[in-house]
Amino acid sequence: DAKTTQPPSMDCAEGRAANLPCNHSTISGNEYVYWYRQIHSQGPQYIIHGLKNNETNEMASLIITEDRKSSTLILPHATLRDTAVYYCIVSGGSNYKLTFGKGTLLTVNP
């Protein structure tokens, strides 16, 4: 199973872009990169996912390197409500399961 590596914590100033990195050097060709976040006392919230092309939706952008060994989740204008634990997960092919690690605690500061 491909695994991911994320920094345990990051800080970001309100209104600035938050760039959350993730390494997944053992990702297989048919595996997707998913991002979820979990705000305290709530369930995980799906943010975005991609295979090899960069993706953008109303919440965030996902930048995947050409070799697919790493990716970056970008929150373009972070707000205080974006403070949460962000999980980068690799899943796909025969492994459809979401295996949550410890994620990155993003703290958005005023």
Partner 1 sequence: ETGVTQTPRHLVMGMTNKKSLKCEQHLGHNAMYWYKQSAKKPLELMFVYNFKEQTENNSVPSRFSPECPNSSHLFLHLHTLQPEDSALYLCASSQEGHSNQPQHFGDGTRLSIL
Q: Are 12 and 106 in contact (CB under 8 A)?
A: yes
Q: With CB under 8 A as the contact rule, which of the stretches 3-11, 15-23, 38-46, 65-73 interacts with partner 1? A: 38-46
30: left (phi over 0), alpha (psi -120 to 50) or beta: alpha
| Binding of residue 81 to partner 1 (CB under 8 A) | no
| Binding of residue 86 to partner 1 (CB under 8 A) | no
Applying CB under 8 A, among 7, 26, 101, 109 the residue interacting with partner 1 is 101
| Binding of residue 28 to partner 1 (CB under 8 A) | no
| Binding of residue 53 to partner 1 (CB under 8 A) | no
Q: With CB under 8 A as the contact rule, which of the stretches 13-21, 52-60, 67-75, 99-107 interacts with partner 1? A: 99-107
Burial class (CB within 10 angstroms; exposed 0-12, middle 13-18, buried 19+) of 33: buried
DSSP SS3 for 55: strand
- The C-alpha atoms of residue 68 and residue 71 are separated, in whole angstroms, by 7
Q: Give contact residues for partner 1 (rule: CB under 8 A).
A: 32, 34, 41-46, 49, 91-92, 96-102
